Structures are given as C-alpha cells and as structure tokens.
Amino acid sequence: MPTTPSTWRLDAPATTLIFDLSRGVAELAYLGPGLPPEQNASVLCGALQRGAHESEPDERIPPSILPCIEAGYAGSPAVEIARAGHQLALRAESVGVEGDDAAVTFHLVDPALTLSVESRWSARHSGVIEVSQRVNFEGEDPVQLLRCASLVLPLPRWATHVTQFSGRWAAEMHATRSEISRSARLHGETQGGTPGFSGGQWLLFESADSTEHYGLSLAVHLAWSGDHTWTLRVDPDGRAVLSIGARIRPGEIVLSRHHPFVAPSAVIAVSSSGRAALRQTLHRHVLDERLPQAFSRAPRKVHLNTWEACGFALSLPKLKSLAEQAAELGIERFILDDGWFSGRRNDRSSLGDWNPSVDVFPEGLESLIRHVESLAMDFGLWIEPEMVSPDSALYRAHPDWCLAVEGLPRATQRHQLVLDLTRADVTDHLYNVIDQLLRRYSIAALKWDHNRELFPIPSGSIGQTQALYRLLDRLRETHPKVEIETCASGGGRVDYALLSRCTRFWASDNNDPIERLRINRSWLQFVPFRILGHHVGPSPNPITGRMLSMDFRAKTAMFGHMGVEADPSTMSEDDRQTLSAHIALYKEWRDVIHHGSVYELCSSDEGAAGWFVVQMNRGLALITQSLFAQHFEAEPIRLHGLEPYQRYCVRLLTPWPEHPARYLNSPQVWREGVRMTGAALAYSGISLPRRLPGTAWLIAVEAE
C-alpha cells in the first residue's frame, strides 16, 4: 500500500497551492502568488501550524478541503447524505492522494458506508485552478445526497474584503465590496433554476489595499447554469471558509451503485498585482480553455437585431428594407428576433411552434435569407426552445411535457410554461426541430433565449440543467459552425459551463450605455469583451428613457461584441454617418479589443469610466463621462500596460464628441498624434475635456 506524502504542491502560472496532509486530512496550507521551486513545502506547513488553545479539542481539527461534521468541524460539511429521512454520519478513515505536476486528486473514504469522495484540483495553462468533486457509492441500498460542495475553500488571511454581486432584470451585476467581519456568515443562493441576474456565483476576495494594479486578489466562480448556494463563514478565531456548489433539493440526487454524482466544477484564480492581472488570467481561461475553439479567433461580426426596429410587427418588405439599411451602415450579420414563427403576433402564443409564419413568410425564410446574403451579410435567428406557450400546437399535443405539479394550477410567467428537459422525448423533439431549421436554412447564428424562471420544479434544477447541456452538446456536434448566443432576459444565465457551449452572451436587455458601463464593468472582471454582446440602442432608451448622442452610444458599444438594436430609418443622416464611422472603427480595432489585455481606467472623478485594451504594439482606450464633472480640469487619463521605454504615437480617433472637442488644445496635434513613452502614459497620462455628461473619447496608441 503506497504511503501518503506529508505535503503536495500544485503550481499554475503565477499561482502556488500547498496541501498539508500530515494530520490525516487534506489541508490547504497555502494558496497565493507563485513560490520559488526551492521553497520546501514541509517547512512552510510546519511554520504555519500552531498548538490548540483552551477552547479547542485536545487534538486540534485542521481546516480541510473535505470537512466532515462528525470529525468536529463546525462549518458546512463538504458532503451530506441520508437514508429514509435520517442523516447518516460520514466517518472518513483516510485521505489518499494521487496526481502529478498538473493535477492532484484527494480521496476521502468511508468503508462503513462504502462511500468515497474524490476532490480533483487541476492547474490549467491559463493560470486558473479548476476544482471538481465526485461522490461514489457502492452500497446495496441507495442513499440520498443532501449536499455536495463543489469547493470548500479556507480563504487566505490576506483576503479581508469580498465583492458580491446583486441585481434584477435590466440592472444586472451590482458590485458591493465589504469587509469580511469577524463571525460573519454570508450566504447566497438562487431558486429560479438559473444563476439569475445577480451573478451570485461570481465572487471576488481581496486584500484591504488591493486596487486595479496593486494588491492580492482571488476570484471564485461556480461553472454551473442552475440553482446554486454558497456560504462564507468566519469562525471565532477569524478563519474564513467559503463553500459553494449546486443547490440540491431533498430527493433530487439518489446515489446508488454505478451512479455517482459529479458536482459542477469551480474555478479559482489568484493575482499578486491587483484586479487587472486577475482579469487577464480569467479572460485567458475563457478564450483558450472554455470558448468553443472554432470561434476563438474569427472576427466577431457586427450584428443588427430586429427587435427594437420591428418588435412583433414583421413583414417581408419591412425586413428586406431593414437589411438594406443595415448593409449600408457596414453591418455584417442580420438577426431575426421574436415574431417570425407560427401565429406569433404578441408574447401570448406560439412558443414551441418553430415554423415560419405563413402570414409573414409564405414561402419560408429563404427569400429573406437570400436577400440578406446578397447584401454580404449572414443570417441569424432567435429561438426560445426551453419554453412553450399554453396557446400553441405543441402544448395542445403534449400538455404532459411541461414542468408541473399534479393537482396544482400551471402558473405562467411571461405567458409561458417550461418544458421538462429531463424527458428524452422532449429533448429529442427539440433537437429534431432545431436540427431541421439549421439544415433547411442558411443560419450562421442562433440567439438562444430563456425568459422565465423554472417553476414549478419539484425535482430541482440539476437534471434540467444537465439535460440542457446534453442538448447543446448534440447540436454543437452536428452543427459545429453555428454560433450560439446565450440570453436569459439579458444576463440571467451566464457562467463558464454554458460559455463552453456558446460563443457569446447577452449582458443585459438594457442597452442604455451609461447603465451598460456599470454592468459591463462587473462582467469584464470575469469574461472578455469578445463574447460580451453590446448593442447601439435607440434614443430615448426604451428602458431608462435617457437620451444620449449617437457618438456616445456607438463609442461605448464598440467595447464588446458590437451590434445595433435600433431602426436606421428613424435616425438622422448625421446619426447614420456617425454610426457607420464607428462600425468601421470597430472593424479596424476589434482584434485588439477582443484579444488584448484589458485594464480599467481608474479615476477619482465622479462619473468617469473606461478601459484600455493592449495587444502587442497597439492599444485602444475608451474614456467616458456620465455625470457633469465637478472640476473643469479633469484628472489625466493614465494608460497602463505598455512597454515603459517604448515610444508611442497617441491619437484621438474621429469622430469626436462635438461640444467637448471645442475645448481641445491643438486639435490638429491630436489628429496627427503626440509622442510619449509608455512610462509617461502610465504615470503622467493625458488630459482631455470631459466635463459634460455623455462625453466619450477613443484614444489610439501605436508603437513607433
């Protein structure tokens, strides 16, 4: 029998983990910036150990990544099981370990219950640590799994602050940073079958002094598209432990011989130099290890989505005219949104009947698609396959296909019910319908929407979510060239598991650029511009009522996967020209925006926001002002991420914001470019007029 080592070390780029196994449990002794190879792991673990104090058991209980209550642990256990309504004691007799330089698996075994837990920690090339848990059961009588944390993480003591996210429809991802106080018990969960608008499964832990470019940072994400739960507990000695995983309802998961449970994976990333480096590690993980690789490098085409221009009032002549106007602006993809199928003239009917409306398209979609393609654009289509309208042919034929509780009314949301994806006949039907659409028509992209919570869902969301993954995987395998955008009334279902199957996410239904600056700031800590859908909307904005110039709307939409969700026929000629000019700029700079390193532009000026993206010897910055500035002399804009001794040409890209441009000193110089070193741009910066709300500038930086 091989002996268990006393320590185990795992290194990812710029990150080191050291596990102390000397006391019979898997104890995470060190998680932080990379340590030199010469550092002796046993010496480090010994230097961190202490003796028991008066109020502890004589044999001190070390913090474990697989804690058991039966061993005296006072927090949330990693695994809880029950049989016939009675919780069973989990008594682990040993913790085994196996692995190599890239990954390690810890085995917690309870021979009496014939149950084992495997915890696998993998160091990815991107620099993140990926953690997955598996529960195996070999007993004769099945048991219920009540809890299985994807990650139990004793936090480093430098992690004194936590950033959580909250939100609602059209106001996703509000970030709140707070100190982790003594005896804190923070908790978050969802019950609607998806992660929801709050982004609750994204967490950021930092040292007190952490900033964009300085300090220690730690990100944790649960890669899961269903309900989740997490707790952060600080014990009386000040030790904080995070536990996060899928929310398991009673009776939802039954363990039996040959039927293990594999928990959703969790992702950890660490930075020793602030949020910027942390962001770049996570972006690298998404682009290199999550996003379907067929779409990891291809240019992201400019979209036009028909919703704001047409709503449900579709006609073939109107759509063809809209396509012509889109092509004149330089748009590359035409997305036909809701209203194209069956009798869909409002949101009260026809979901599930995925056949082109004979009233709008008497010969199917071919005529529109041919017209779109003749204008050098490709075609995309909106669907919402997981839902069904009670007023639909599908529901009348198969009322038993919905999530429902016998004897209770079938409550709708947005006049919709939810199809039960755990039924093979349902997912087979959905696969066949979508497959036929993709085979019959030349469709380059699908906008896959999800517009209501999953209720009633008595069996829980795990089976529904896993069935969605299987459906998407089948479609990806059959149609690998089709792009899929994930949308759930905006940003209601965004996570790494779904992004491994989709190529784009819709960050919010709210296209107000000032709101999007805040929403996108939160998303961008974890996901790159390349997959963040951001469209130019109408003015006044249909959700906020705010009126903003086309210049401001277009400049902000460039920083993302750019699109247009407005009617060009209602725009002035000046606005069309301004929009067209920015679409051309996006095409020129999108490789930088989508593959460069992203830095947030930090300013003490209230209302200032922006980003600087650097790729090789080029960079593009967006600086915006959303409030009337307190001072006429705005704080200089400092651009980090450049080579300090390299000289750069710095230009202000046109078109310029009309009124603020009057205050430029030497406009011709800014058109031609000023010469500055990377060090000067980082520490001195440049001054631009941005006193007025609704001001935005684009700053191009190119090495000479």
Tell me the per-residue pLDDT of 571-622, one tens digit each, with 9 for 90 and over: 999 999 999 999 999 999 999 999 999 999 999 999 999 999 999 999 999 9
Same domain, 564 and 670: no
In a domain, 2, yes or no: no
Position 284 in a domain: yes
Helices (H), 224-337: 274-285, 307-310, 316-329
C-alpha 366/C-alpha 442 separation (Å) is 8
Question: Average per-residue pLDDT in the chain?
Answer: 94
Cα distance between residue 149 and residue 133, in whole Å: 8
What pLDDT is stored for residue 95 in this prediction? 79
User: CA 579: distance to chain centroid?
Assistant: 28
Distance CA 486, CA 505 (A): 5
Choose the final residue of a domain: 572, 594, 616: 594
Task: Compute the radius of gyration of the chain from its Cα atoms.
Answer: 27
> What average pLDDT score do residues 685-694 get?
95
pLDDT value for 93: 67
Q: 199 vs 268, 394, 466, 559, CA distance in Å?
A: 16, 33, 20, 21
Q: Is residue 84 part of a domain?
A: yes
The pairing of beta strand 417-418 with beta strand 387-388: antiparallel
Q: Residue 472 belongs to what H/E stretch?
A: helix 462-478
| Catalytic residue from among 227, 509, 512, 551 | 509
575 is catalytic: no
Picking from 560, 594, 628, the residue at the C-terminal end of a domain is: 594
Band (71; pLDDT cuts 50, 70, 90): low
CA dihedral sign of residues 673, 675, 676, 677: positive
Same domain, 461 and 317: yes
DSSP for 336-355 reads E-TT-BTT-SSTTS-TT--S
| Residues 201 and 333 grouped into a single domain | no
* Domain extent at residue 676: 601-703
Predicted confidence (pLDDT) per residue in 145-189, tens digit: 999 999 999 999 999 999 999 999 999 999 999 999 876 778 888
pLDDT tier at 2, thresholds 50, 70, 90? low
- Are 460 and 140 in contact by the 8 Å Cβ rule? The answer is no
Structure tokens at 466: 């896993």
Closest CA to 13 of 101, 120, 99: 101
Boundary-marking domain end, from 594, 619, 635: 594
**What DSSP element (H or E) covers 652?**
strand 647-652
Is 509 labeled as catalytic in the residue annotation? yes
> Is 340 in the same domain as 286?
no
**How many structural domains is the chain composed of?**
3
Q: For position 596, what pLDDT does the model report?
A: 97
Pairing of strands 115-123, 129-137: antiparallel
Is 1 a member of any domain? no
Whether residue 268 is found in the same domain as residue 305: no
What is the domain-level CATH number for residue 394?
3.20.20.70
566 and 686 share one domain? no
Which of 337, 449, 495, 575 is catalytic? The answer is 449
* 613 and 570 in a common domain: no
186 C-beta neighbours (distance < 10 Å), count: 17
Write the CATH number for 143: 2.70.98.60
- Distance between CA atoms of 209 and 199, rounded to whole angstroms? 24
pLDDT for 137 beyond 80: yes
Angstrom distance (rounded) from CA 675 to CA 571: 38
Contacts of 409 (CB under 8 A, 6+ apart): none
Q: Is residue 421 part of a domain?
A: yes
Please report, as a single letter, which amino acid is at residue 614. V
Assess whether pLDDT exceeds 80 at residue 242. yes
DSSP 506-551: E-BS---HHHHHHHHHHHHTTS-GGGEEEEE--SS-TTT-----HH
Do 67 and 159 lie in a common domain? yes
Please check whether residues 195 and 312 belong to one and the same domain: no
Whether residue 546 is found in the same domain as residue 622: no
Same domain, 144 and 40: yes
Question: pTM value?
Answer: 0.96
The three-state (H, E, C) secondary structure of 47-74, written as one string: HHCCCCCCCCCCCCCCCCCCCCHHHCCC
Q: Domain check: are 329 and 186 in the same one?
A: no
Phi/psi at 53 (5° precision): -95, 180
pLDDT over 90, % of the chain: 86
Contact 618, 701 (CB under 8 A): yes
Confidence check: pLDDT of 566 > 80: yes
Position 490 pLDDT exceeds 90: yes
Cβ-proximal residues to 664 (8 Å cutoff; 6+ apart), any chain: 652, 656, 670, 688, 689
Within-domain flag for 671 = yes
pLDDT at 1: 43
Asked whether residue 628 carries a pLDDT value surpassing 60, the answer given is yes
Query: What's the distance, CA 190 to chain centroid?
Result: 16
Answer yes or no: is 193 within a domain: yes
